[in-house]
Structure 1
Amino acid sequence: MNNPFKFGTIVEGNYFTDRTEELERIKEVLNSENHLILISPRRFGKSSLVKKAITNTGRTYISLNLQMVVSVENLASLILKEIFKQHKWEKIKHLLSHFRIVPTVSTTPMGDSFDVSFQPATDTTVLLEDALQLIEKLSNSENRMIVVFDEFQELLTLEKGIDKKLRSIIQNQTNINYIFLGSQESMMTEIFERKKSPFYHFGVLMHLDRIPYNDFYKYIVERLENENAETIAHSILETTRCHPYYTQQLSALVWDMLTYKHYDKDVVEQAIKSLVRIHDLDFERIWLNFNKTDRAILIDLVKNGQPSSNRLLPTSTIYSGIKRLMQNGYVIKLEGYEVEDPFFSKWISDRQ
């Protein structure tokens, strides 16, 4: 029997949990000529949700992770490599001859994969324009291609004014739906909600929240197949606060312990201890890289559930620290501020 819980990669098929309303909303946007902006903390399942929604449409898509992009030339290369995965070389090679800056394309002896590179360009607008216009040429009104920009806020780190260049190119495209995913809410809000931003109100804005407790509870109980499943499911969700990634992670370990080690009593507590122990060195390394202000904020969140000002840490210092911790993914804000990783939170608590 395979473990019915999955984490760490794109979740599909029977591993996918709920999100019925969100799937329907994304489908509605993709059935229009509008674009979608989807914001949530890291590891809330944005990529899995979007992939499932796109798969349901049956349309061609490319996905670009901007965290892995280091320059505009690199972005243009990545776009072409993703296109090569969708279209045969013979179909598009003549279109590349029209590029104003011709890419260098190499392939394996079997021709099953391609590598693409550009020489550093003085006019990066040309690179982006040619690469994105190639997508437009391969799309039509019957089969509009979908382009996913994952961690879109990273775009702003590539080059000053890159947002203006990208906006000027894609605003005139008619046969493409763009999906912009982002995990840094403040930066994504700045890009899409600030009036002076080139991308102001550029698409339909969605915020992805936790999976509702009752839906996740039912999902876990059905898969545990244990007489104590209801109590176990409650303990799991009480620990993970319905965070999709950590709920799947903890549920997977609990299932293993029940199935292979025949744990019964306190299985959730034992699984939590195991995860904290497994990640002890990672947590210690992360902790040592924090300054004293960050450490004090994290301890406050773990102990009190909220940041608290004191004579040593004025309010302005605390909230600038929280903003920094949020940008780096260690703190999230939903109903309030909280440490993103419940097992890191437990690690901190154990050492107090």
Structure 2
Amino acid sequence: MNNSFSLDHLYTNLITEHEEDIAAIKQCIAQHHNSFIYFSAHEPIDTILKKIKDSISDSHNAIYFDLKNAFTPKGLLSYLTKELLKSSSSKLTDIFEFANKYMPNLKPQFYKQGLLKTELTINYSINEQTIYTFLRDLLDAIPLIAQETGKPFLIIFNNYDNIYTIDKRLTEEIFRDKIAKQKNINYIFACSNEEHIAKIFDKKLAHNYKIKKMQVIKPLSEETKKNYILTTFRNNGFSIEDPVIEQIIKKTSNLHNIFLLCHKLFHRNLHKKSISTNAIKEIIQEIIRELSPSYLTIWSNLSPHQKTLLYALGSKGGNQIFSAKFLVENDLGSAPSVQTSINALIKKSILAKKEKEFYFCDYFFREWILLILS
């Protein structure tokens, strides 16, 4: 029997809760307006955005960029160029013609990966200043391409807030300036980092992005997650009770971890078709062992104070972290020191805040910390 818990299956089923959000964004596109989407970390935003892209493909040329794939100005230029070229055609001759016409200074190259796959690369031997010139040229080419195709262009930027981490301001300023001057191009900016959002979409500057719609993608409800887990297990003949499902949700904290845990529970218990709380504990220990090298890398890049704070949060909870008792008992020093560490850990997507409580974005990382320090 095939394992019914896959990321595609998980996201496809769970984003039904966001159908109204998707409809509102599509309406904004139809009115030729730009949209800003705020989402909580670990929500299936990429699936939502790709569903929007696919649903309007007949009426628009839609291109999807995830800025988590770019870390430097050069990397961003290469990534944007490759995706724009790949969207133009599947034929190599057409792509070369397209590049020569609209991006004469860029030199696309192709190399074979095995027998069937051809990889497109952009080979730059250019200085930093030239990179920014090429980036401006690339953004100037988009309206020209849209005009020739006769179809409206929709550019979707997932994790657009990452543009601020590339070089602080210069790249973002180039984007903002070019977008302000473009016509007949629609944009979707999806962001999750509140600190970067506040800097990028400052009130004095935000009008350049021509945003008419702000859509907040709320976290999926516990009931939606419970129904998905229950239905998927029971549709495959498994016996699972509500307390066990509640334990799965409590010990996962995000959708990817739900997938990891349920996928392994399904596979490991296929012979007896029953899920118990003991099975959950065993699988979590297995996942922690598998993820230990990744967690060790994260851990080694944290300051001693951040490590102490994470252990305290993991063992005692995160709703009273600025109280004198919590600070003294956990040897955390002053409240400002804790605030500095909290800010850094939120920026690294290790911690998040809900109302007045801080919590781990990855429950399994919490369990790993408690395991190695206990």
TM-score for both structures, normalised by structure 1: 0.85
CA 1:114–1:151 in structure 2 vs 1: closer, same or farther (change >3 Å)?
Answer: same
CA 1:261–1:171 in structure 2 vs 1: closer, same or farther (change >3 Å)?
Answer: farther
Matched-pair contact (CA < 8 Å) for 1:100–1:126: no
Give a deviation string over 1:235-271, Cα, whole Å, max 9, x none: 2112234x22222222222222221565543232332
Query: Which whole-Å CA distance do the structure 2 matches of 1:10 and 1:219 have between them?
Result: 10
Matched-pair contact (CA < 8 Å) for 1:104–1:117: yes
CA 1:244–1:26 in structure 2 vs 1: closer, same or farther (change >3 Å)?
Answer: farther
> Counterpart in 2 of 1:65?
66
**Aligned to 1:18, what secondary structure does the other structure show?**
helix
TM superposition outliers: structure 1 runs of 4+ over 6 Å: none
Give a deviation string over 1:119-169, Cα, whole Å, max 9, x none: 425354531232123322232596322222233233234444222221111
Query: Which whole-Å CA distance do the structure 1 matches of 2:87 and 2:175 have between them?
Result: 23
> Counterpart in 1 of 2:304?
292
Aligned 1:273-312 pairs, distance under 5 A: 273-302=285-314, 303-306=316-319, 307-309=321-323, 310-311=327-328, 312=332
Query: Which whole-Å CA distance do the structure 1 matches of 2:108 and 2:208 have between them?
Result: 36
Give a deviation string over 1:301-330, Cα, whole Å, max 9, x none: 221233234254211111111110011111
> Counterpart in 2 of 1:177?
186
CA 1:342–1:119 in structure 2 vs 1: closer, same or farther (change >3 Å)?
Answer: same
> Counterpart in 2 of 1:19?
18
Bigger CA drift: 167-176 or 144-153? Answer: 144-153
Q: Give identity over the alignment, percent.
A: 19
Matched-pair contact (CA < 8 Å) for 1:10–1:48: no
Aligned 1:323-342 pairs, distance under 5 A: 323-335=343-355, 336-342=357-363
**Aligned to 2:269, what secondary structure does the other structure show?**
helix
Q: Structure 1 residue 215: deviation in Å?
A: 1.4
> Counterpart in 2 of 1:248?
259
Query: Which whole-Å CA distance do the structure 1 matches of 2:22 and 2:262 have between them?
Result: 24
Matched-pair contact (CA < 8 Å) for 1:191–1:200: no
CA 1:71–1:308 in structure 2 vs 1: closer, same or farther (change >3 Å)?
Answer: closer
Bigger CA drift: 316-325 or 85-94? Answer: 85-94
Kindly indicate which of the two structures has a greater share of residues assigned to helix.
2
CA 1:281–1:107 in structure 2 vs 1: closer, same or farther (change >3 Å)?
Answer: closer
Bigger CA drift: 231-240 or 98-107? Answer: 98-107
Would you say 1:126 and 2:133 are equivalent positions?
A: yes
Q: Structure 1 residue 73: deviation in Å?
A: 4.0
Query: Which whole-Å CA distance do the structure 2 matches of 1:259 and 1:175 have between them?
Result: 53
Give a deviation string over 1:204-249, Cα, whole Å, max 9, x none: 33333321111111111110012324333222112234x2222222
TM-score for both structures, normalised by structure 2: 0.80
- Residue identity matched to 1:66: L
> Counterpart in 2 of 1:161?
170
Query: Which whole-Å CA distance do the structure 2 matches of 1:260 and 1:170 have between them?
Result: 57
Query: Which whole-Å CA distance do the structure 2 matches of 1:210 and 1:145 have between them?
Result: 29
Query: Which whole-Å CA distance do the structure 2 matches of 1:34 and 1:146 have between them?
Result: 10
Gaps of 5+ in 1: none
Query: Which whole-Å CA distance do the structure 2 matches of 1:155 and 1:147 have between them?
Result: 15
Matched-pair contact (CA < 8 Å) for 2:34–2:209: no
Aligned 1:103-114 pairs, distance under 5 A: 103-108=106-111, 112-114=118-120
> Counterpart in 1 of 2:334?
314
- Calculate the aligned-residue CA RMSD, in Å: 3.1
Matched-pair contact (CA < 8 Å) for 1:300–1:308: no
Query: Which whole-Å CA distance do the structure 1 matches of 2:218 and 2:94 have between them?
Result: 42
Would you say 1:75 and 2:84 are equivalent positions?
A: no
Would you say 1:270 and 2:246 are equivalent positions?
A: no
Aligned length: 349
> Counterpart in 2 of 1:139?
146
Gaps of 5+ in 2: none
CA 1:79–1:276 in structure 2 vs 1: closer, same or farther (change >3 Å)?
Answer: closer
Query: Which whole-Å CA distance do the structure 2 matches of 1:167 and 1:100 have between them?
Result: 21
